[in-house]
Amino acid sequence: MANTDIELDVLAIFSHPDDAELSVAGTLLKLKKLGYRTGVCDMSRGEMGTRGTIEIRAKEALDAAAILKLDARLNLQQADGHIWLTEESRTAVVRVIRSHRPQLLLTTHWDDPHPDHAATCRIVREAARLATMKRYDFESGQQAVKMPALAHSLFSRLIPPSFIVDVSDFVEEKMKAIRAHASQFYSASSKEPATRISEAGFLKQIEDRMRYMGSLIGVEAGEAFYVREALNVADPLALLTRPMNIYS
């Protein structure tokens, strides 16, 4: 599903094959329903993971992509567990941005406790800027692009979100996309070593987290994001008077 030339509206760039599903699948599903072209770019193949193989995880990623109705799913094959801010990693992401020209990038937050996740955030932020510079990586023959917007999926409960997306209508599909990565999550019949995310209650915690975020805006489920740049609001009244049942 590595469509190399389709222009995307939204591209989620995360470290491992199940990260986007766990973090922003509801938002991607909502954007697809709104008519936008969506894609996911995995930095690595997840080969350092305790469970599954490269081949199994690649198949699971494609199965999840079908559930999410993605227009493209890419993999940059960076070394799992060794994702660093390097010239190679920046250039790889620059080329993806220039190939698909997304208006919005979704990625992790720089305060994420997983080293790969934090590094991916820094790579994406720098690559987004470098992709606008026509003389950067000019040997590739690609054209510079307009700077895409960036939104960071929140893991830490200590960082207040800039906004929360109402994903109440997409919880079931999101969880189905997550469960497509079957090698990584709980199975009573699995003989593989246990991990934090393969614990029996982990996926319920993901749902509980969505319910909590939704409760902050008076809806059933939400996904939280942080934006470092100032937001350009065309209609502050429309933005600030959206229904919030928690006040009624």
Has residue 40 got a pLDDT over 80? yes
Range of lowest pLDDT (19-28, 73-82, 95-104, 154-163): 154-163
Confidence of residue 248 (pLDDT cuts 50, 70, 90): very low
Give residue 247's pLDDT.
46
CA distance 222 to 165: 5
- pLDDT category at 191 given cuts 50, 70, 90 is low
**pLDDT (tens digit per residue) in 162-172:** 999 999 999 99
Q: What strands lie across the sheet with 222-226, from one edge to the other?
A: 72-78, 38-44, 10-14, 104-107, 149-153, 222-226, 163-166
Instruction: Give dist(CA 125, CA 120) in Å, integer.
Output: 9
pTM attached to this predicted model: 0.93
Domains belonging to the chain, first-starting first, are: 10-247 (3.40.50.10320)
Mean per-residue pLDDT of the chain? 91
- What amino acid occupies position 38? T
Q: Please state the three-class secondary structure of 155-210 as a single string.
A: CCCCCCCCEEEECHHHHHHHHHHHHCCHHHCCCCCCCCCCCCCCCCCHHHHHHHHH
Number of residues assigned to the chain = 248
Is the pLDDT at 118 greater than 90, yes or no? yes
pLDDT tens-digit profile of 121-159? Answer: 999 999 999 999 999 999 999 999 999 999 999 987 789
